[in-house]
Chains A and B, each alone.
Chain A
Amino acid sequence: QVQLQESGPGLVKPSETLSLTCTVSGGSLSNDYWTWIRQPPGKGLEWIGHISYSGDTTYNPSLKSRLIIAVDTSRNQFSLHLTSVTAADTAVYYCAREGRDGYSPSERRYYYYYMDVWGKGTTVTVSS
């Protein structure tokens, strides 16, 4: 059974880079997308971006200029790097598996997209 675990510093200074790692256990990174989501205190969920096992990325347009998501298949990990952080980046950061299923060879598309496995989340505070 796949499990995800976020790790990284809980405190980051303003203007510095926030770096987090998500370690995947009980399975491999292959054939899925791997996603970062965050939740500011008392607020809703925000999709940050995702990466495929082959390294293809899509980012939230509002974060794109400051964001890099990378994958390390040898370590079964993927990571998030957010530069020039401010207090607005204070949040619980979650990693999740984004799966796809029901592939149609004739249509060259998947019929099912899901985000089924989540880490427990890690709290990051941006403060001097």
Chain B
Amino acid sequence: QTVVTQEPSLTVSPGGTVTLTCASNTGAVTSGHFPNWFQQRPGQPPRALIYTTNNKHSWTPARFSGSLLGGKAALKLSSVQPEDEADYYCLLYYGGAWVFGGGTKLTVL
């Protein structure tokens, strides 16, 4: 069974920087997993932020960036704003099927 693991929770101060990661139990995450990242605020559907590792949608704020880091997919938030407090999910592709990570609850405090 494929399992994608994210940090359950992280806390960051306003104006700070934080990196969320996304690991696969099958080995290193690569561009071939087409990593996607989503933000979900309470009561709302997920909103796409990053696709295929490091590509931003037209609506993605510049302070969000994606990369591969140490065998994992990573989402970096710079100059964090209070409205960035949300759940963040990564999504990885395994040759036809997708698997979501368990999500990271980001607190801005």
- What string of 1s and 0s marks CB contacts (under 8 Å) between A36-78 and chain B? 0100000011110010000000111100000000000000000
Closest to A114 in B: B51
A61–B48 CB distance below 8 A = no
Which candidate, A13-21, A22-30, A81-89, A118-126, is the interface stretch facing chain B?
Answer: A118-126
User: When A and B form their complex, what is the total count of cross-chain residue pairs whose Cβ atoms lie within 8 Å?
Assistant: 62
The 7 A-B residue pairs with the shortest CB-CB distance, nearest first, are A114-B51, A113-B34, A47-B98, A45-B100, A44-B103, A58-B96, A118-B45
**Do B96 and A113 have beta carbons less than 8 Å apart?**
no
Which chain A residue shows the least CB distance to B55?
A: A112
Residues of B within 8 A of A (CB): 34, 36, 38, 40, 45-48, 51-52, 55, 57, 87, 89, 91, 93, 96-103
The answer to whether B97 touches A116 (Cβ under 8 A) is no
Main secondary structure of the interface of A (DSSP, over half): strand
Is the C-beta of A11 less than 8 angstroms from some C-beta in chain B? no
Is B100's CB under 8 angstroms from A114's CB?
no
A114 touches B96 (CB 8 A): no
Given the complex, which residues of B lie within 8 Å of A58, measured CB to CB?
96-97
CB <8 Å contact, A94 and B45: yes
Contact across chains for B48 and A44 when beta carbons are under 8 A apart:
no
How many angstroms from the CA of A44 to the CA of B5 in the assembled complex?
Answer: 12
Chain B residues with Cβ below 8 Å from A59 are 97
